Amino acid sequence: MDATKEVAAMTTPADNGYFMPAEWWRHDRCWMAWPCRPETFACGIDEARAAYAEVAQAIARFEPVTMVCNPEDAAEASLAVGPGIEILPLAISDSWIRDTGPSFVVDGKGGVAGVHWRFNAWGGNYADHQVDATLGTRILEKLGLPAYEAPLILEGGAFHVDGEGTLLTTEECLLNPNRNPGLSKAEIEAHLRAHLGIREIIWLGRGYEQDETDGHIDEIACFARPGVVIALTTDDTGDPNFERFQDNLDRLRLARDAKGRELEVVPVRQPARRDANGVRLTLSYTNFYLANGGLVMPAFEDSADDEAFRTFRRIFPDHEVVQIPAMDIVRGGGGIHCITQQQPAAGH
């Protein structure tokens, strides 16, 4: 083991001055993973691959994109995404790199490292996830970056940070007994502080109804900038999400961030309900990717699409907002944020 990796093995990121920057911190690149599991996309893996390629091409207008794929899929993936997007052959089980890839941290002095979380396929939903359980470490090895092994089962889509010490998450996911049954809430909070360099945790209650991730935060809320949170809402009192979202709004309005600020909450109306095979699809505008100078957000062929687009243009005036069809991604169980992972630049 070299000296850098040995330090990473013995200490935590916070011990060494690392913290997770906000998603608007400048990126070196965006990571994605090529769809490879037909069972995930029962409505059509070819359609999913076309949708992933469109997302990759949209992001590549603003920053470099690396697409991880199984070695046998490298030629097909390269042809599909086109020139300018790097293809990295690495064994994968599935294509949700937000949850299976590393979470990158910086020290504000030119250092970048990665945190590798333990992965159990969203609480044991799938048995064939062992290859993805090591993906974070393998990506960090390829990059030659220090890797911190976190003793916590966690997915990247389960939390969101403001880069100034505040983390947003849900009790439904992080306190679910199918993740870390031996850890108390206080112990989970301690691991988050140690590995992400945060000081304040804002706990929302439940996530999107029937979300198979058990309430990932990126389906319901996210920071737009320090002190500002975008939150999904609905006015339909008969929708099971109504009670969930109202409770989350109440918690956000009572919360204070790590700097003691009250939060400005920007509501974004959810699209109309749609199901697939009897299960509700998690249609959410908060599930987007913020690139260097650009924002790639979903469209769902819904009357709320235009309203959401205008809202995002207002919230992010310095970004070019690109809206692309996302139904073929959502039918697999996630969204644009779920299939991407930003790698921050060493300097802001």
Q: Is 264 in a helix, a strand, or coil?
A: strand
Which tokens hold the place of 135?
């993906």
30 is catalytic: no
d(C-alpha 307, C-alpha 282), whole Å: 18
CA 345 from chain center: how many Å? 18
Angstrom distances, CA of residue 137 to CA of 58, 90, 121, 149, 246: 27, 12, 16, 8, 38
Q: Which residues lie across from 269 on neighbouring strands?
A: 233
d(C-alpha 22, C-alpha 105), whole Å: 10
Query: What's the one-letter identity of residue 132?
Result: D
Q: Which of 30, 69, 173, 338 is catalytic?
A: 338
d(C-alpha 193, C-alpha 188), whole Å: 9
Contact (CB, 8 A) for 33 and 92 = yes
The beta strand positions in the chain, using DSSP E, are 27-33, 65-69, 86-89, 103-106, 112-118, 147-153, 159-161, 166-170, 200-204, 221-225, 228-233, 264-269, 275-276, 279-280, 289-290, 294-299, 320-325, 341-344
Contact (CB, 8 A) for 106 and 13 = no
Strand order of the β-sheet with 147-153 is: 103-106, 112-118, 147-153
Q: In this structure, are strands 341-344 and 279-280 parallel, antiparallel, or unpaired?
A: unpaired
Q: Catalytic amino acids?
A: 338
